Structure 1
Amino acid sequence: MADKVVLITGTSTGIGLAVAAAAVRAGYKTVATLRNPGKAGPARGTGADVRQLDVTDSASIADCLAGVVADYGRLDAVVNNAGISVLGTVEHLPMDDIRRSMEVNFFGVVEVTKAAMPHLRASKGRVVTVTSVGGAVGQPFNEAYCAAKFAVEGFMQSLEPVAATVGVGVSVIEPGAVTTEFVNNARVDIPAAIDAAGPYAPALQAYINRTRGAYSTAQTADQVAEVVMQALIAYPVVFRWQTSDFARSFVADSLSDLDGSIVAGLTSRWVR
């Protein structure tokens, strides 16, 4: 991989940071990008080339991609990882929060991919996007987050056959619960959220109790990064990757659920 250049978004913590470290170890020329340069220390510690990139800023995306290609002469892969979590139900969530979820989790992925495609065509490269089991299974109090992740999966599944005609492979990665800073970075005051939930308070408390249990047995970011690295080199290209047995079972339930009753029966238990 010594001549291969990979750009990764959202590398300040968690999965993105772990992917950057794994890519460096694998021999890629690794460009680790993040929104806030003040949080670049851990990414620099991987040995990656750390650069600023805000996936919600068109100029930032264009400048970063242009700089990478100017400096390295090519781009072989993009790992779309940057994302935010949004907890709450639609009646109480501010529209600005819902729009922010779409801007970061969906439109950011689209715009980075759009900017990268000409260079990936030239290198016959790869687009690997970290989505979530929440891109295949709608989950309580995650309407805004899952909507964005469903949109990403629909976008990528539609792009995949078109990109393949010009030699670009497209894959999505579907982790379940992962022990990263992702949840903490949501900055949700749980007691305040329950107090403000009104008639939804019992359901929200039940969901939080269930979710805490899920995160007690979560995967590590390094385990997810291993799957991302597999997706980058798999031949033939594999579109959909789950990162654990739980994720495979969970996604399989949804993909085979023609009338929606399997998922509804499962997730309704999370809020009771």
Structure 2
Amino acid sequence: MMGNILITGGASGLGRAVAVAVAKEGGRPLVLDVAAPEAGTDQVAGGDHVIADVSDREQVERAVRELAERAGGLDGVVTAAGVDACGTLSDVPALDWERVIRVNLLGTASVVRAALPYLRRSGGRVVTCASTLGLRAVSDATAYCAAKFGVVGFTRALAAELAGQVGVTLLVPGGMHTNFFADRDERYRPGPDARLNQPEDVAATVLFALGQPAGCEIRELVVCPATETSWP
């Protein structure tokens, strides 16, 4: 049984795909997102959600506590919430640049910190979502690369810190068919011929990590299209 899995960014994209997959495996998806999940989604029946901005630590702490207490604990956490602000360092407004760090990196840490008491009790698991741009830097992505490189370092250190207590997996996905690219300038979107992964396929790898037996750790997973240009 998958158990109670808290998913940030679970209202759309990869997070939503994970929530649906958790429900199909008999688990209870607990969605924390700045937006509510789509109404009438029978695949996530039995789940729960709280609206909160992961860039705000106090909102995160309240939301995690509320979801965990209503569900009777947590068995896993998946940090899929993410934003981007493309452009050169001098062109991206400072507040937009800093929000990328707050959501992707600081939000990840805030959620995991708030969930740790519950995960220690259950011997649960954490799956953090980095990016292939957390391993390879490119121009016009200083905020995103800084945040995702940070997630990589945070997760590797967390795995060492929680070894034997809480399972920790670093997910490194490449491009996916989601709305992540929708609001970007045309030059920062994948081309019409780009081959991207389906979020449902990446979600299946998340469930694989969450479903490992106690003592068996999937430390890192790189899941990208065969023609991904940002890896290796």
Is the TM value for this pair above 0.5?
Answer: yes
In the aligned structure 2, how far is the partner of 1:188 from the partner of 1:234? 37
Say yes or no: does 1:188 pair with 2:184: yes
| Aligned equivalent of 1:178, options 176, 181, 187 | 176
Is there any run of 5+ residues in structure 2 with no aligned partner, and where? none
In the aligned structure 2, how far is the partner of 1:88 from the partner of 1:68? 36
- What does residue range 71-150 of structure 1 map to in structure 2 within 5 Å? 71-150=70-149
Is there any run of 5+ residues in structure 1 with no aligned partner, and where? 191-204, 254-272
Say yes or no: does 1:212 pair with 2:199: no
The answer on whether the counterparts of 1:176 and 1:246 sit within 8 Å (CA) in structure 2 is: no
The answer on whether the counterparts of 1:13 and 1:42 sit within 8 Å (CA) in structure 2 is: no
Identity between Structure 1 and Structure 2 (%):
31
Number of aligned residue pairs: give it: 229
1:60 aligned partner, one-letter code: Q
The answer on whether the counterparts of 2:55 and 2:99 sit within 8 Å (CA) in structure 1 is: no
CA gap of 1:42–1:148, structure 2 versus 1, over 3 A, is: farther
- What does residue range 121-270 of structure 1 map to in structure 2 within 5 Å? 121-165=120-164, 167-184=165-182, 187-190=183-186, 208=188, 211-212=190-191, 216-235=194-213, 236-244=216-224, 246=226, 251=231, 253=232
The answer on whether the counterparts of 1:17 and 1:42 sit within 8 Å (CA) in structure 2 is: no
1:212 aligned partner, one-letter code: G
In the aligned structure 2, how far is the partner of 1:249 from the partner of 1:140? 13
The match for 1:262 is none
CA gap of 1:240–1:18, structure 2 versus 1, over 3 A, is: same
Which moves more between the two structures, 25-34 or 49-58?
49-58
TM-score by length of 2: 0.90
Which moves more between the two structures, 52-61 or 78-87?
52-61
Aligned-pair CA distance for 1:73: 2.0
Which moves more between the two structures, 92-101 or 56-65?
56-65
1:216 aligned partner, one-letter code: A
The answer on whether the counterparts of 1:174 and 1:242 sit within 8 Å (CA) in structure 2 is: yes
In the aligned structure 2, how far is the partner of 1:89 from the partner of 1:43? 39
Alpha-carbon displacement from aligned partner over 1:117-141 (angstroms, at most 9, x marks no partner): 1111111011101111111111221
Alpha-carbon RMSD: 2.2
In the aligned structure 1, how far is the partner of 2:110 from the partner of 2:55? 8
Alpha-carbon displacement from aligned partner over 1:205-232 (angstroms, at most 9, x marks no partner): 5xx48x426x721001101101111111
The match for 1:264 is none
The match for 1:267 is none
